[in-house]
């Protein structure tokens, strides 16, 4: 009888240890999954044409074809209702004495399920629902780097909003930024440089 009790006691302890180990493993896996999910939620922006901080190929500038580079992004929050893309240059006209930020491209109301824009994006190729704002050439569409002097930085800024922007009519960058104030739930940027 004592041997049976010892036997059952041993199995009871071993069972408890196994159960405890399984529970611990479950917690570790859950935390790992949550951590991984958190990493996936970070909004990121990249281009196949250039890496962050690198030179933008002349193909995408006024010295080349002056077409937009491909852009892809990940980590758009589930609560996002639209995306905004603004490309501008804070080094105009001369990086040693900048006087203004030159706006190269303004897109808004990009659907949140869109994950990128192909190279050479034009109005007819934009995702359905996407609208364009004015750049500093006073026209819509992409205008590539064309710095008069020095090496300039070109910020490709992506914003996730908790709303769709309404009531705008070919807005400027400033008007888009004013409309989205208080509604940005995530943002990221990709910076390229160029010098003639």
CA angle 62, 125, 163 (to 5 degrees): 105
Which CATH code is given to the segment(s) 44-194?
3.90.280.10
d(CA 114, CA 1): 70
As a whole number of angstroms, the distance between CA 171 and CA 103 comes to 12
**Rg, Å, the chain Cα set:** 26
Summarised one tens digit per residue, pLDDT across range 102-136 is 999 999 999 999 999 999 999 999 999 999 999 99
Cross-strand pairs, 103: 88
Segment 59-84 mean pLDDT: 98
The 10s digit of each residue's pLDDT in 133-181 is: 999 999 999 999 999 999 999 999 999 999 999 999 999 999 999 999 9
pTM summary value:
0.80
Domain ranges of the chain: 1-40, 44-194
Mean pLDDT for the stretch of residues 69-75: 98
Beta strands in 35-79 (DSSP E): 44-46, 71-74
Q: Which of 159, 163, 157 is nearest to 79 (CA)?
A: 163
User: What was the pLDDT predicted at 117?
Assistant: 98
Identify the DSSP state of 127. P
pLDDT of 29: 41
User: Could you tell me what percent of the chain has a pLDDT over 90?
Assistant: 79
């Amino acid at each position: 009888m004592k041997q049976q009790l010892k036997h059952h006691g041993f199995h009871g302890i071993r069972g408890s240890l196994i159960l405890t180990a399984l529970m611990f493993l479950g917690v570790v896996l859950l935390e790992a999954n949550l951590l991984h999910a958190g990493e996936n939620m970070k909004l990121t922006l990249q281009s196949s044409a250039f890496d962050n901080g690198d030179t933008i190929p002349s193909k995408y500038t006024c010295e080349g074809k002056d077409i937009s580079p491909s852009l892809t992004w990940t980590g758009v929050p589930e609560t996002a209702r639209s995306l905004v893309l603004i490309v501008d240059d804070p080094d105009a006209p001369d990086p040693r004495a900048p006087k203004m930020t030159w706006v190269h491209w303004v897109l808004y109301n990009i659907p949140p399920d869109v994950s990128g824009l192909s190279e050479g994006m034009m109005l007819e190729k934009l995702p359905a629902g996407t609208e364009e704002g004015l750049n500093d050439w006073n026209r819509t569409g992409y205008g590539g780097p064309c710095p008069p002097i020095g090496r300039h930085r070109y910020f490709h800024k992506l914003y996730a909003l908790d709303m769709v922007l309404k009531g705008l009519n070919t807005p400027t960058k400033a008007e888009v930024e004013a409309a989205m104030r208080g509604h940005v739930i995530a943002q990221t940027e990709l910076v390229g440089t160029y010098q003639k």
